[in-house]
């Protein structure tokens, strides 16, 4: 099973403007049109079984409508996390409603939402999410160098220390363009990381493999950051990395499937055992 845990799409009426805003801001070409149907078509073209949408509320007033939309787009090939904002009044009740809607997690984008992950406003939100909802964070800098970095690896590590039972995923291998900081504060922890937009022009194969191994491959998920990221190219790169079979086996989807409770994930220990059994059979 191939799972892309990091995608963005929008309601049909908003998608053209939203995608134009992203591509202009970042100087990129979109890989699909930003609609849910466009994401499903992308899945079919690339061979992705499930795409997870990560919506962002840039205003507190957007939270409820985004969560309603996120629940409405669920299908066999697309699911969505929900949204929350530091200034949303009464977040505990909305988080409870999100669970009732069947949403499995919440996306936080500190750069767009203008908050540090360890901001005091966020602490009641994390407390209510522990054991209930996955917290999915943008980590590190932005493609646009003019944007201030709020989601530092250090601040994300503080959240993990304060809320050890909060399931956290930090995108971009812990810190886009600041991987040495990610290594200092997050690598080797129990925080999950995704591979989204870790392109060859940003990080070499050698350095990416080193981060994956030092962190633990069973805590790494495949993500593309589409439509800004090309899922096909990024998936091909992950599969071509010089990793052992048991290190690679779960990254494209198995670990994410386990995280999402899909019942088909495989841990690294099981993958290593299967790979070694296959090698023994080949020798015989």
The pLDDT value given to residue 270: 53
**Backbone torsion region of residue 32, taken as left when φ is above 0, otherwise alpha when ψ lies between -120 and 50, otherwise beta:** beta
Residue 255's H or E segment, with its range, is helix 254-259
Which stretches in the chain have pLDDT values below 50?
265-269, 272, 278-284
The reported pLDDT for the residue numbered 274 is 54
In degrees and rounded to multiples of 5, residue 225 shows phi and psi of 65, 30
What is the Cα 260 distance to its own chain's centre? 12
Give pLDDT, residue 266. Answer: 45
User: Does residue 192 contact residue 168 with C-beta atoms inside 8 Å?
Assistant: yes
- Taking the C-alpha atoms of residue 68 and residue 190, their distance in angstroms, rounded to an integer, is 31
pLDDT of residue 284: 43
Which pLDDT does position 191 carry in this prediction?
A: 98
Are residues 110 and 142 in contact, defined by beta-carbon separation less than 8 angstroms?
A: no
Where does 28-123 show beta strands of DSSP type E?
50-53, 78-80, 82-83, 105-108
Q: Are 122 and 86 in contact (CB under 8 A)?
A: yes
What pLDDT digit, counting tens, does each position of 172-182 carry? 999 999 999 99
């Amino acid at each position: 099973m191939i799972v892309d845990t990091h995608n963005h799409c929008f309601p049909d009426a908003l998608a053209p403007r939203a995608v134009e805003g992203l591509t202009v801001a970042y100087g990129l070409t979109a890989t699909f049109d930003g609609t849910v149907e466009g994401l499903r078509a992308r899945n079919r073209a690339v061979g992705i079984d499930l795409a997870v949408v990560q919506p962002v509320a840039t205003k507190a007033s957007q939270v409820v409508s985004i969560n309603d939309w996120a629940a409405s787009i669920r299908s066999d090939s697309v699911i969505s996390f929900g949204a929350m904002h530091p200034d949303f009044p009464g977040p505990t009740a909305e988080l409870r409603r999100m669970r009732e809607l069947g949403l499995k997690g919440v996306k936080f984008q500190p750069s767009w939402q203008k908050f540090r992950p360890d901001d005091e406003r966020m602490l009641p939100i994390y407390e209510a999410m522990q054991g209930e909802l996955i917290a999915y964070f943008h980590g590190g800098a932005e493609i646009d160098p003019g944007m201030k970095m709020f989601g530092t690896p250090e601040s994300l590590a503080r959240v993990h220390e304060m809320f050890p039972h909060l399931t956290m995923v930090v995108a971009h291998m812990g810190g886009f363009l600041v991987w040495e900081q990610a290594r200092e504060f997050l690598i080797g922890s129990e925080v999950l990381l995704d591979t989204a937009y870790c392109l060859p022009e940003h990080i070499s194969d050698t350095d990416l493999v080193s981060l994956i191994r030092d962190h633990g491959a069973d805590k790494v998920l495949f993500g593309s950051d589409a439509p800004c990221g090309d899922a096909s190219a990024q998936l091909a790169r992950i599969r071509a990395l010089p990793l052992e079979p048991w290190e690679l086996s779960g990254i494209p989807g198995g670990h994410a499937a386990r995280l999402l409770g899909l019942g088909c994930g495989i841990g690294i220990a099981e993958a290593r055992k299967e790979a070694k059994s296959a090698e023994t059979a080949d020798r015989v």
